[in-house]
C-alpha cells in the first residue's frame, strides 16, 4: 500500500510542476487558478510522501524520497514534451530511461530488505 501512496504522490508532484509551468504562461484569474492547483498538488504530494514513509510497511526515507522525486521528474519531462513542446532528443530519452531503471532498482532492493 505504501508504494501505491508513493507513486500517486509522485504523480501529484508532476501536477505541481505542470501547474507552475502553466502559471508562468498565463496571467490574471487563470494564473491564480494554476497557482491554486500548485498548492493543492504540492499539499497532496507531500502528505502522500509522508504517509508512505510511515506505518508497518514503511518505505525508508532515502528510498521514498528518491523514488518520489524520480516519479515527479519522469512525469514532468513527459508532460513538458507533450504540453510545452520541449525537445525529444536521444540524450534526454537515454537519461530518462536510466532514471526509470534506477527507480525500479530502488524499489526492488527496498522491497527485499
- Phi and psi, residue 89, nearest 5°: -120, 165
Q: Is pLDDT at 113 greater than 70 in this prediction?
A: no
Task: Output the pLDDT for position 106.
Answer: 81
Number of helices (H), then strands (E), belonging to the chain: the values are 4, 0
- Phi and psi, residue 69, nearest 5°: -65, -40
Q: Where along the chain do its domains lie?
A: 2-112
Share the mean pLDDT of the chain: 92
Task: Output the pLDDT for position 18.
Answer: 96
Amino acid at each position: 500500500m505504501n508504494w501505491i501512496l508513493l507513486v500517486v504522490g509522485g504523480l501529484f508532484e508532476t501536477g505541481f510542476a505542470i501547474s507552475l509551468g502553466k502559471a508562468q504562461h498565463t496571467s490574471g484569474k487563470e494564473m491564480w487558478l494554476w497557482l491554486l492547483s500548485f498548492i493543492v498538488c504540492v499539499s497532496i504530494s507531500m502528505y502522500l510522501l509522508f504517509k508512505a514513509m510511515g506505518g508497518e510497511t514503511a518505505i525508508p526515507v532515502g528510498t521514498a524520497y528518491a523514488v518520489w522525486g524520480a516519479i515527479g521528474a519522469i512525469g514532468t519531462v513527459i508532460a513538458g514534451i507533450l504540453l510545452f513542446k520541449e525537445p525529444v532528443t536521444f540524450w534526454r530519452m537515454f537519461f530518462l530511461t536510466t532514471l526509470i531503471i534506477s527507480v525500479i532498482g530502488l524499489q526492488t532492493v527496498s522491497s527485499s530488505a
